[in-house]
Chains A and B, each alone.
Chain A
Amino acid sequence: MSPELEKCPRSLLVCEKSNFLNEKSQHDIHVSKHNFNYKISVLMPECGILPANISSVINSFSPYYLVRDLPVYELLEESFLESLVKKGNFNALSYNTKIDEDNSIALLSSGQLILSLDKDTYEQLGLEGRPSLYNHRKAMRFVVTLDLTDKSLTPGTKRYQRVLSSLKDRLPLRYDFFFTKYNTGADEDKTLHKLLSQYSYKEHKPAVSHHTLKEIPCPTLYPSDIQGKTLSCDPHHFLEWLGAVNLDISCENAADSFLSTYVCPEPQSSVSQALLCTVTGFISPENVFVLLQELRQYFDERRFTPWVSLTVHGFMDSGENFYNLVYFKNQDYWLHMATGAQDGCPP
């Protein structure tokens, strides 16, 4: 067998242990950096119904809009820039574009507009960018990053005019976009609606679903043992089990079942019920942060379960696309991040 076949593309699971009360804790930075969230699932063992405070937070997640055929230059439009982009808390992502096949556009809440373009589009558009890190022999993919909050890109400057003319005249790019905003005032809403009304759009609210699982075995996790050496179970197995629970895959490993041989990792204990709550949609990182804070207060009342898990999934074709937080009673937390073969190790 050739030597290359023996090496599988590597995947990396980074596990970090810290405490929320620790000043150097990076959980807030990590949440805010993970800009585009598609699905959040919360698993609470020994819990029957969703506590009222968490339920109200989830129901107050901001709505998201799907706009069809929006030209990209509209994101640079003056009043739009002033009200929504510069104030922060506005996210946009192009819809139905695959990042490794065609052009993808993303607007982050920090005010950065990122265009991930294939070679032909990049050369036709004429904006300055750099080759992507995921290139093979020849550079086929380029990334153009425009910091819209930067002084050089304020409306009226030469650079702004150039960018606007490239996107408007030289190569008018139009895509379907997802928009979401967080905690914006009435003025900003008015500007957003003025823009949206010129194109066909639809407002959606993130879809929430609850599921109470009865009599399931649950892995035991101790905050001090993140590697799973003695008291807790191994993190790979834990995440695999978590995925199986989310997808409703049976973990009984019955002898006559050919479909699934997943088992609950050892050590385990049986719980009478567990609550799985899933929220799907285009969710802004600020909303995730509010939910995270609310979950921390879950342990303030006396609870039976020693741990609660929050999994956040990003979009399928991005590089590192999910992270998992496990909370414990003593405000300790574990953060698991998974990366694919080509990505670097997350800090």
Chain B
Amino acid sequence: MSVFMDLNIISSNDKNRLRSIVETAAHLGYSTVAINYVVEPQQKKQEIPKPQNVSDVLDKFPVVQGKSSPVKVLNRLTIIASDASHFRPTNEYKSFDLVAVYPKTEKLFHAACMTFDVDIICIAVAEKQPFHFKRAPVNGAIDRGVFFETCYAAAIRDTTMRRYTIANAISLMEVCKGKNIIVSSGAERPLELRGPYDIANLGLLFSLSEGDAKAAVSTNCRSVLLHGETRATASGVVYTTKKPKTPQKQEEESPISKKAKTELA
């Protein structure tokens, strides 16, 4: 079991609101949260927003309730894709810790599960699922280590959406058998957050087993973070970090020596 995480807090321009959501999450017991920048590239050219530096948003990170360490805040990008051209992994994606995609059509869902370089695939919660989940792409995604996400804030806001959330989640669980699922809030206001144990119980409503439901808020979220970290590495094995620049005196440049020719005898 690992720490509890909420990987979907909708970002907004209002810093105070964001701050209060993160403070509420820390108070409820979440050790890690991710601020989600949602992008819907309708036009041909849509800018990917640059994530705000986390320390700009919060000067002091609130301490998680029941522990002595402060809450960890990450940046996440979600692309709402209704066309294949919308998802183009550029360098801007690299500045986010997590990348998610919300496919609107069946073809895109298939492509996202099998080929796209994402960590999370979002499931519709505010509307009836336009397509059915097929076993082949879902199993392909599970093999690749991509996770499916269900948000519960819509269920708190409206009763009709509650039905859609539960129905879509149950149909997904039938196909994926409870593996590779995360449940996150999608909260726009602090009141839409719920405690981690409550969300683990909510997972029972989605026909997850008890262990799967708790993993959906803790262990699977940890796996998502690790998957996000490996996107910046070579096969998850080799990391590159920037070496800190040490101030050096200006030295005379030594003449560039010619490389000795190696004779292949």
Contact = CB atoms under 8 A, between A and B. Distances in A.
A187 B68 CA distance: 33
Interface string B15-46: 00000000000000001000000000000000
Contacts, number: 45
Given A9-B210, A96-B66, A176-B68, A140 B2 contact: yes
B207 A4 contact: yes
Interface in B29-81: 31, 66-68
B211 A96 contact: no
Contacts of B210: 9, 341
B2 A101 contact: yes
Interface of A: 2, 4-5, 9, 96-98, 100-102, 118-119, 134, 136-138, 140-141, 176, 341
Interface stretch (B104-112, B212-220, B256-264): B212-220
A141 B1 contact: yes
Interface string B191-234: 00000000000001101011110110011000000000000000
Which 3 residue pairs of A and B lie closest in terms of their CB atoms, listed nearest first? A136-B211, A100-B1, A96-B68
B68 A136 contact: no
B214 A102 contact: no
B170 A101 contact: no
B84 interface: no
A292 B36 CA distance: 55
B148 interface: no
B4 interface: yes
A228 B170 CA distance: 42
Contacts of B170: 2
A223 B12 CA distance: 64
Contacts of B4: 101
A102 B68 CA distance: 11
Nearest to B67: A96
Given A2-B207, A140-B2, A341-B210, A102 B215 contact: no
B98 to A, nearest CB: 19
A140 B219 contact: yes
A118 B3 CA distance: 9
A134 B214 CA distance: 12
Given A134-B1, A341-B210, 9 more contacts: A2-B170, A4-B207, A4-B209, A5-B204, A5-B207, A101-B1, A101-B2, A136-B214, A176-B68
Contacts of B218: 100-101
14 contacts: A2-B207, A5-B207, A96-B68, A101-B2, A101-B4, A101-B31, A101-B67, A102-B3, A136-B211, A136-B212, A137-B211, A140-B1, A140-B2, A176-B68
A9 B214 CA distance: 13
Contacts of A134: 1
Contacts of A4: 204, 207, 209
Contacts of A138: 219
Nearest to A3: B207
Contacts of B207: 2, 4-5
B66 A5 contact: no
Contacts of A119: 2
Contacts of A137: 179, 211, 215
Which among B31, B66, B209, B215 has the highest number of chain A CB atoms within 10 Å?
B66
Nearest to A99: B1
Contacts of B1: 100-101, 118, 134, 140-141
Nearest to A132: B1
B8 to A, nearest CB: 20
Contacts of A141: 1
A141 to B, nearest CB: 5
B101 to A, nearest CB: 26
Contacts of B31: 101
Interface string B145-188: 00000000000000000000000001000000001000000000
A5 B205 contact: yes
A118 B204 contact: no
Nearest to B170: A2
